[in-house]
Amino acid sequence: MAAKTKFRGSFTALVTPFKNGSLDEAAFRSLVNWQISEGTNGLVPVGTTGESPTLSHDEHKKVVEWCIAEAKGRVPVIAGAGSNSTKEAIELAQHAEKAGADAVLVVTPYYNKPTQEGMYQHFKAINDAIGIPIIIYNIPPRSVIDMSVDTMKRLWELKNIAGVKDATASMVRVSQQRAAMGEDFNQLSGEDATIIGYMAHGGHGCISVTSNVAPRLCSEFQAAWAKGDHATALKIHDKLMPLHNNLFIESNPAPIKYAMSLLGKLDETLRLPMVPVTEPTRVAVRSAMVHAGLIN
């Protein structure tokens, strides 16, 4: 039987702060503590939002270690461990396990466009190399490929495949995956804007970009939904919806880093080819933060 995870609620896809071209360890550790104090249910370091493509492997591993050390077991840590090289993904996953991660998030291999069988073999190789749960990250807009429900069902038979971060934005997919794998298959949304529909179709939570800047509201949304208080959940969603939209006017994580700089949480520094957002996007992000009650 496959691994089981019971990840529920709001998990933050953490940004990676930089200063003077290097990792800003103090800012990152401060973010981890702030997120937990604001009610975030779990942390996901070094995913796309954490600018994993431009971190060296050593930097990637440091961020995972800092996150686990600072969280101190208070919330689960799902460490990013994806690569379009199976060998590299295995190395990152093994490091995350050794560092004490609760699970790893492994993206479908981008750019080289493997077939469904290639994806199966990629995830099987990682499964066979570690002993902690694996969350499949299915994000066709970035990876170009889309893992089918049938491939997921095959993978679900392996011991460490536990669930999915679903960034397809397809409400149908949630129900299809429930039908194929059952309630124990841990389904987390990777799309903030469609989260109400995702939860209504049987999702378990969200790995969120918005929760970097609005951790309490994102957590309160999930708590209200879990209690069946859908009216409160909808009210919170309405507060957050402009943020959910405007944080993606330009490529993530440039808008979210600008938003967090407005809260004084980090420098608005990115690594090329990512660049700071344009003035119209700044206006839109600031307006959305005012709408959410995060700034005046």
Check if the beta carbon of residue 202 is closer than 8 Å to that of residue 174.
yes
For residue 221, the tally of other CB atoms under 10 A from its CB is 29
DSSP 40: -
Ligand-binding annotation for 49, yes or no, is yes
Ligand-binding annotation for 108, yes or no, is no
**Burial letters 266-275, b for 16+ CB under 10 A, else e:** bebbbeeebe
Among candidate residues 120, 137, 198, 258, the one labeled active-site is 137
Catalytic-residue membership of 137:
yes
- Specify the amino acid at residue 235: K
Whole-angstrom Cα distance, residue 33 to residue 127?
A: 31
Check if the beta carbon of residue 17 is closer than 8 Å to that of residue 253.
no
DSSP 203: -
Q: Which residues are CB-neighbours of 7 under 8 A, at least 6 positions away?
A: 41, 42, 76, 78, 103, 135, 163, 186, 188, 204, 205
Transcribe 49-61 into DSSP letters. Answer: TTTGGGS-HHHHH
Check if the beta carbon of residue 143 is closer than 8 Å to that of residue 107.
yes
Among candidate residues 61, 62, 165, 239, the one labeled active-site is 165
- Quick one: CA torsion of 187, 190, 194, 198, rounded to 10 degrees? 0
Which residue positions form the known binding site for pyruvate?
49, 207
Q: Give me the active site residues, please.
A: 137, 165
